[in-house]
Structure 1
Amino acid sequence: MSTVTDTSILARRQGVFGRLSDFFWRNPGIMLLLMLTPPLLWLGVIYLGSLFALLLQSFFSIDDFSGLINYEFTLATYRQLLIPSNFDIILRTVVMALLVTLASAAIAFPIAYYAARYAKGKWKVIFYLGVMLPLWSSYLVKIYAWKLILAKEGILTWFFAKLHLLWLLDAWLALPVVGGSSLSISYTGTFIVFIYVWMPFMILPIQASLERVPGNLIEASADLGGNPGQTFRYVLFPLALPGIIAGSIFTFSLTLGDYIIPQIIGSSRLFIGQAVYAQQGTAGNIPLAAAFSVVPIVIMGLYLWMAKRQGAFDAL
């Protein structure tokens, strides 16, 4: 009986496909290599190759007289990033990304906490639909909708007028940095839209992280005399920190590289994404555009390294 079974298992099948199947079954390493080759080629040639080409372009320079690219290795293009006008673009973008990340975390935490600790059954389904629904609509449609909301004749101005708080809005818009002629042409409007668009990417990792916190730890903290503030500081926040960092990876990186939101809602002062678009498309200065593109890569590389040390990838 055992001999018949072994013979039937080891018997070679007929036909081309049968022989191929037998060959791959006896040589799983070759099968694995063939399966991994297409994605590795895509990653190595298309993705890493394009990044390497971008990095290479940043070490060239542009000839000021002819406007042609000088294909000689130089760090002059990177030195241009330290010019006050260019460095101001980098600083403005990083500050905006940090503020958006902090504000998103502050707003997302109570929402995620409610979903993780109290939402059950259909309410949890409603929560996921509410968080994910904005992601199902067009990115540009959402931004242009916010432009109408934030405009001087928009519903937000009407709402302030109905509450007799229009003076407060005008006072805010009169401030030198955050203000403007209207919310749709100000850093405040850019900040609000950034938070709205990237908020789901912050809520979901925090919610996943909070769901892993055992309820008996919170009860033990209360039994030991800890007030809600101490429980949050010493128990809940440290355990939820990987989820917060994981969400910040999305919000920080997406804000750092976005150029559409500042282009539609914002002032005339550029962000990194707009600078890349302007230098490559309008000015034709590809080396400087490449150097600007390297800045977010370096910043995110350092950020991801620190996030990994905090265990943030466990909450992704």
Structure 2
Amino acid sequence: MNHQASTVTTPSAAPKGFLVSFSDLLWRKPSVLLAILLGPPVLWLGVVYLGSLFALLIQSFFSIDEFTGLIQYEFTLKTYGELFSAANLDIIVRTVSMAAFVTVGAAIIAFPVAYFAARYAHGKWKALFYLGVMLPLWSSYLVKVYAWKLILAKEGILNWLLTQLHLDALLNAYLSIPIIGGNSLSVSYTGTFLVFLYVWLPFMILPLQASLERVPSSMLEASSDLGAKPLQTFRHVLLPLALPGMVAGSIFTFSLTLGDYIIPQIIGSSRLFIGQAVYSHQGTAGNIPLAAAFSVVPIVIMGFYLMGAKRMGAFNAL
């Protein structure tokens, strides 16, 4: 009896469409998906931001002809040498000093606020805290600055309040102090400091509050149980653990103060800050190479600042 061998035929697999093949590729290689998602914004950042910085850096190696006022497109370090003149060096020192004072002042004020929010505020009170901190950021930057100018002016509400409290003589004595004083708070470095402090304070509070929330309560209780006084607990336990958040906040307050030119132009004396010098040399004087050299100064300073902040673990608190 002949048995005919039966053959089993399998239908050939249907060719995959492009979308199916592409989906399989993304599933097998997640790095391709990551490259597709990050490629356009990184390319935009490289062309627009890094490209503009590179063009700025190139401009800083040119110089201005003292007779014609035209840019000489020849490589030179003459423009950077001008930064070390007495007038320009004074601008740099003044700006860095103000940024440092604002950063320290913001840390001192922000710490108790952030500590209260991290330890004692819960539920609706924490929501109210975030609303109170974020609310000033939602209003117009210029409106806030001009409002402070009216508050600090000689005819402003602060001067009126001090007069009603018979403290105007104390204010006048303070304004008579060289460097930090002036005709009124609105035209003094003290006024500039107060406005900088108000505007950038939220950028210090939020990272510090996030850092303090990561500190276990058990560590503070253990320190107390071991006989440490509150000041010792703060110095040896709480402050070291909260320091990364404080440094993270200082990145914002220091860098934003370093590059701002609007606040010193509206409130304060006629002495320039770095941002004003860049604006003046590029717009009024037409000295673009010197303006570019001034712009490089905050970049270099923040480069070293960020390296130090990274070593202190500040990026983990952002």
**Matches of 1:41 and 1:62 in 2, distance apart?**
33
1:34 CA displacement: 3.4
1:148 CA displacement: 0.5
User: In the alignment, what sits opposite 1:302?
Assistant: 304
User: In the alignment, what sits opposite 2:238?
Assistant: 236
Encode CA deviations 1:53-106: one digit per residue, 9 max, x unaligned: 111111110101111111111111011001100000000000000000000000
What is the CA RMSD across the aligned residues, in angstroms?
A: 1.7
Whether the aligned pair in 2 keeps the contact of 1:60 and 1:71 (CA below 8 Å) is yes
Q: TM-score, normalised by structure 2?
A: 0.93
User: Is 2:212 aligned against 1:196?
Assistant: no
**SS of residue paired to 2:301:** helix
1:40 CA displacement: 2.1
Partner amino acid, structure 1, of 2:226: L
Partner amino acid, structure 2, of 1:248: S
Partner amino acid, structure 1, of 2:261: Y
Structure 1's 68 and 132: CA in aligned 2 closer, same or farther, altered over 3 A? same
**2:262 counterpart (236, 260, 267):** 260
1:193 CA displacement: 0.2
Partner amino acid, structure 2, of 1:254: L
User: In the alignment, what sits opposite 2:162?
Assistant: 160
Structure 1's 22 and 291: CA in aligned 2 closer, same or farther, altered over 3 A? same
User: Is 2:50 aligned against 1:48?
Assistant: yes
User: Is 2:295 aligned against 1:283?
Assistant: no
**Matches of 2:29 and 2:115 in 1, distance apart?**
50
**SS of residue paired to 2:110:** helix
Structure 1's 159 and 27: CA in aligned 2 closer, same or farther, altered over 3 A? same
1:45 CA displacement: 1.1
**Matches of 1:134 and 1:79 in 2, distance apart?**
41
**SS of residue paired to 1:120:** coil
**SS of residue paired to 1:238:** helix
**Matches of 2:33 and 2:247 in 1, distance apart?**
38
Whether the aligned pair in 2 keeps the contact of 1:12 and 1:22 (CA below 8 Å) is no
1:27 CA displacement: 6.3
Structure 1's 261 and 11: CA in aligned 2 closer, same or farther, altered over 3 A? farther
Structure 1's 136 and 12: CA in aligned 2 closer, same or farther, altered over 3 A? farther
**Matches of 2:295 and 2:250 in 1, distance apart?**
20
User: In the alignment, what sits opposite 1:225?
Assistant: 227
Partner amino acid, structure 2, of 1:250: F
**Matches of 1:101 and 1:224 in 2, distance apart?**
34
Structure 1's 76 and 161: CA in aligned 2 closer, same or farther, altered over 3 A? same
Whether the aligned pair in 2 keeps the contact of 1:253 and 1:300 (CA below 8 Å) is yes
Partner amino acid, structure 1, of 2:162: F
User: In the alignment, what sits opposite 2:114?
Assistant: 112
Q: TM-score, normalised by structure 1?
A: 0.93
Whether the aligned pair in 2 keeps the contact of 1:61 and 1:287 (CA below 8 Å) is yes
**2:87 counterpart (77, 85, 89):** 85
* Structure number with bigger Rg: 2
User: In the alignment, what sits opposite 2:8?
Assistant: none
Structure 2 unpaired stretches of 5+: 1-10
Structure 1 unpaired stretches of 5+: 1-6
1:176 CA displacement: 1.4
**Matches of 1:308 and 1:177 in 2, distance apart?**
34
User: In the alignment, what sits opposite 1:68?
Assistant: 70
Partner amino acid, structure 2, of 1:169: L
Partner amino acid, structure 1, of 2:157: I
Partner amino acid, structure 1, of 2:43: L
1:220 CA displacement: 0.6
**Matches of 1:201 and 1:77 in 2, distance apart?**
34
User: In the alignment, what sits opposite 1:4?
Assistant: none
User: In the alignment, what sits opposite 1:101?
Assistant: 103
Whether the aligned pair in 2 keeps the contact of 1:61 and 1:72 (CA below 8 Å) is yes
**2:136 counterpart (134, 137, 146):** 134
Partner amino acid, structure 1, of 2:116: Y
Count of aligned pairs between the two proteins? 307
Structure 1's 130 and 290: CA in aligned 2 closer, same or farther, altered over 3 A? same
Structure 1's 28 and 106: CA in aligned 2 closer, same or farther, altered over 3 A? closer
1:41 CA displacement: 1.4
**Matches of 2:122 and 2:36 in 1, distance apart?**
45
Partner amino acid, structure 2, of 1:101: T
1:162 CA displacement: 1.2
User: In the alignment, what sits opposite 1:3?
Assistant: none
**SS of residue paired to 2:155:** coil
**Matches of 1:139 and 1:292 in 2, distance apart?**
24
